[in-house]
Chain A
Amino acid sequence: MESNAALHKQEFKAGHQLGLDHKKLGMWLFLSSEVMFFGGLISAFLHFKINTPSPAESALLDVALIGVNTFILLTSSFTVVLGLAAIQRGNSRALAGYLGLTILLGAVFLTGQVYEFKMLYQEGMTLQSSVYGSSFYTLTGFHGLHVLIGVVWAVFVLVNALRGRYAENEHGGVEIFGLYWHFVDIVWIVLFTIIYLV
């Protein structure tokens, strides 16, 4: 069976002629469905924000705090790019360093979000206080969950990097993680715009 599995890898040229790496394609497909998932939650948020506004509660949002948080998350995307560039040059140690930084930035973002939630709860804006509150926490909460999953994933990638699993021409794992992480960042930019800026 081993030989057949090996053949499996090299043989099927038609697909490879398209220049498609199946893991990357799978990730892209997954992310496209994630776009629709967030699309659903975003449409819920916008629907209720427009039709059942809660000005008192939306005024509680701390744009400055979350602005800083947004900057932190964006920076973490940048560190992933730098990490990938490092391993493409074959520098495994630099990759590990950048991944560590990414994990740290992701954790700071999550801490900021938890802090924000705590403040808002103290002000009386909760999951049950209004439809606005319900949709706000659901939307940002599910994004936060995605960041958390990303941070955990980054830890696995970091462990692999430290074990020397990646090399100049063997960095698919980093790349796929990067796709996910950038996606989560892009979603946040959309959320930041519609929740905090508009």
Chain B
Amino acid sequence: MSVNTAAMTEKVDWRKYFTWNTDHKVIGIQYLVTTFFFFIVGGALAMLVRTELGQPGTDLLDGVEYNRFLTNHGSVMIFLWIIPVLAGFGNYLIPLMIGARDMAFPNLNALSFWLIPPAGVLMIASFFVGSAESGWTAYVPLSVTAPLGQTLWAVSVIILGVSSLLGAINFVTTTLTMRAEGMGFWDLPLFVWGMLATALMILVATPMLTAGLILIALDRVAGTLFFDVAAGGDPVFWQNIFWFYSHPAVYIMILPGMGIISEIFPVFSRKPIFGYKAIAISSMAISVLGLTVWAHHMFTSGMNPALRIPYMITSMIIAVPTGIKIFSWLGTIWDGKLRFTTPMLFALGFISMFLIGGITGIFLASIPVDLHVHDTYFVVAHLHFVLFGGSVSAVYAGLYYWFPKITGRKYDERLGKVHFWMNFIGTNLSYLPMFLAGLLGMPRRVVDYAPEFTGVNQLATVGAYLLGLSTLPFLYNAIVSWARGPRAESNPWRALTLEWTTSSPPPEHNFDERPVMKIWPYSYGEVEVESEATGPVASAGD
């Protein structure tokens, strides 16, 4: 495994990150950095929301402002952070992991990135014309009568949908046609499996949302009557369309994350992944089943009561493939030789918190219980355990894990651990009390609440501040280490997937030699992993 020293000493021209560049690695970094910016924007909105909820009454924000902030918090976090940041990982990693020189459609790839900044600007600009204020769910008819910003919001989400769709086409095509010689489907790294399942879901579900948003936009702009009740329009129809996309969107946001941690556990346990095929197949199972559960968001709405039963059943069945993954990860670390690096800590944190999100999902799928907890803080807690405790943990795990590969530098392990513990404590402190608030009777999306909910809300607000602060050690670590961190060798973790066989960062053409898949990516304990250095893998020991 030769190191391309030329690439390491080559001066990085930062200006290329602001141009139309078709190198998937440049695009991947563009994605990661841009979406992290939006993560901070969405986080700042969350800080404002939590500050308002720090005590009962409406002290900081009024009802209109509050609804605008919460709408943009949700929309930014989902459409401009989690979905695209995972696409960023896909962009950077898929060609490297399958031994390709680039994505199948490099120009299309650049286009899918360059759609994001204008869409983000559009969403934030909507603040200046009366922002969207009907939640990220944009339930009609509220969203039809909302101010002009709601139209910009709809256009922004349509653009982001197109971006994610083009990315999905690229991921599937690249994975199917450009794998290195000798790499069959059962040799694909599990992250690639996760992205494949995600991309197939995006292809099926996202166009539905686009169609629905077009109907809303037309109602607002062209005077159509789709959601005008007086003319026979139907608000429940929007809910069907919306959730047909937006429930799968949850899996779109979690499957790549599950892929990331499936890469991390074997490396830091020095053991093969436990149940490779079961994990890969369960990703596909979730992606298919995930398309059949959407109406569990509508148990309290005016849908046909008898139809609720099949949706309850499918929603609960999803617990089975999800459980398979969790148990397989436990099987992977069991009897391993665990190294508690920052990515490993985030991956372990992922399991412990995602589990809570998963279990409470069963409560929500059970119709009688859902009729009580639907649209309450119980749901807010549940979704944040899945998306923050789950997806965001996985994103952080991935950022630390591939940091040496992407930047060619080592990050500071001590700061990474500080970050992990702040994040882990903050997440639990912020979201656990919300379960109680919801069960006891606090609806979601309220600017004010009854005094009996003060205690739980104060805990949640303190937790949220801790989460806000936790980004600081991360940002400091990332920026300083990227600029001045010690050089990373090509395979600091002694990992077996193909991206570690090239230099860190990889040369523009990815591989100097034609990559041939010789070692199965999880053969730990069965092959000698070559590495120039076997010393500490990060700049500061633990």
A and B touch in the complex (CB under 8 A): yes
Output the least CB separation between A30 and chain B (Å): 6
Kindly state whether residue A198 has any CB partner on chain B within 8 Å. Answer: no
Which residues of B are found within 8 Å of A29, using beta-carbon distances?
168-169, 172-173, 203
Interface string of B345-380 (1 = CB under 8 A from A): 000000000000000000000000000000000000
CA of A13 to CA of B222, assembled, Å? 51
Decide: B215 and A131 in contact? CB cutoff 8 A. Answer: no
Contact between A134 and B218, CB atoms less than 8 A apart: yes
Complex-state Cα separation, A135 to B232, whole angstroms = 12
B225 within 8 A of A: yes
Most B C-beta atoms less than 10 A away, residue of A11, A20, A134: A134
- Against A, the Cβ 8 Å flags (1 = close, 0 = not) of B497-509 are 0000000000011
Given contacts A12-B181, A14-B182, contact A128 B207 (CB under 8 A): no
Please state if B169 and A26 are interface contacts (CB–CB under 8 Å). Answer: yes
Instruction: Answer whether A138 and B205 are a contact pair too, CB < 8 Å, given A22-B178, A48-B226.
Output: no
Chain-A contact segment, one of B67-75, B99-107, B298-306? B99-107
Q: In this assembly, does B165 line the interface, its C-beta being within 8 Å of a C-beta of chain A?
A: yes
| Contact, CB under 8 Å: B173 / A36 | no
The total of interchain contacts (Cβ-Cβ below 8 angstroms) comes to 140
> Is B176 positioned at the interface, with any CB of A under 8 Å from its CB?
yes
Distance between Cα atoms of A38 and B154 in the complex (Å)? 18
A111 at the binding interface (Cβ < 8 Å): no
Q: How far is the CA of A137 from the CA of B215 in the complex (A)?
A: 11
A113-131 with Cβ < 8 A to chain B: 127-128, 130-131
A51, B241: Cβ atoms closer than 8 Å = no
Do A128 and B234 have beta carbons less than 8 Å apart? no
The CA-CA distance from A32 to B509 in the complex, in Å, is 31
> Given the known A-B contacts A15-B177, A36-B205, A40-B208, are A131 and B226 also in contact in the complex, defined by CB atoms under 8 Å?
yes
The verdict on B514 contacting chain A, using a C-beta distance below 8 Å, is: yes
Residues of A with C-beta under 8 A to B514 = 7, 11
B184 touches A (CB below 8 Å): yes
Kindly identify, within residues 172 to 193 of chain B, every residue whose CB is under 8 Å from any CB belonging to chain A: 172-174, 176-184
**Given A47-B234, A51-B234, A131-B231, A12 contacting B203 (CB threshold 8 A):** no
B210 near A12 with CB under 8 A, answer no
* Minimum CB–CB distance for B521 against chain A, Å: 15
Of the four ranges (under 10, 10 to 19, 20 to 34, 35 or more), the interface on chain B belongs to: 35 or more
Q: When the two chains form the complex, which single residue of B182, B204, B226 contacts A44, counting CB atoms closer than 8 Å?
A: B226
Q: Which chain B residue has the least Cβ–Cβ distance from A16?
A: B177
Residue A1 interfacial (CB < 8 Å): yes
Query: What's the tally of chain A residues with a CB closer than 8 Å to chain B?
Result: 44
Please state if B208 and A39 are interface contacts (CB–CB under 8 Å).
yes
Choice from B183, B210, B232 contacting A40 with Cβ under 8 Å? B210
Instruction: Decide: A131 and B233 in contact? CB cutoff 8 A.
Output: yes
CB distance from A128 to the nearest CB of B (A): 4
The interface residues of chain A lying within 8 Å CB-to-CB of B137 are none
CB interface residues, A 69-88, toward B, < 8 Å: none
Q: Does B423 contact A (CB under 8 A)?
A: no
State whether the Cβ of A160 lies closer than 8 Å to any Cβ in chain B: no
Residues of A near B228 (CB, < 8 A) are 131
Contacts of B223 in A (CB 8 A): 127-128
Report A-chain residues with C-beta under 8 Å of the C-beta of B234.
Answer: 47-48, 51-52
Whether B231 and A130, one on each chain, are in contact in the complex, defined by CB atoms closer than 8 angstroms, is: yes
B327 at the interface (CB under 8 A from A): no
In the docked arrangement, what's the CA distance between A20 and B183, Å? Answer: 16
Would you call A8 an interface residue if the criterion is a C-beta within 8 Å of the partner chain's C-beta atoms?
A: yes
A4 at the interface (CB under 8 A from B): yes
Which of B104, B178, B182 gathers the greatest number of chain A CB atoms within 10 Å?
Answer: B178
In the bound assembly, the distance between CA atoms of A13 and B211 in angstroms comes to 38
Interchain nearest-CB distance for A98 vs B (Å): 28
Whether a CB of chain A sits under 8 angstroms from the CB of B20 is: no
Q: Give the distance in Å from the alpha carbon of A34 to the alpha carbon of B228 in the complex.
A: 27
Contact B224 A134 (CB under 8 A): yes
Compute how far the CA of A5 lies from the CA of B508 in the bound complex, rounded to whole angstroms: 11
Query: Nearest 5 A-B pairs (CB), nearest first?
Result: A40-B211, A15-B177, A52-B232, A37-B207, A134-B224
Ordered by A's residue number, 6 sampled pairs between the chains whose C-beta atoms are within 8 Å are A25-B177, A29-B169, A32-B204, A33-B168, A36-B205, A131-B225
Chain A residues with CB under 8 Å of chain B are: 1, 4-5, 7-8, 11-16, 18, 20-22, 25-26, 29-30, 32-34, 36-41, 43-44, 47-48, 51-52, 127-128, 130-131, 133-135, 137-138, 142
**Supplied contacts A30-B169, A33-B165, A36-B204, 5 more A-B pairs, CB within 8 Å:** A1-B508, A13-B181, A14-B181, A131-B231, A133-B225
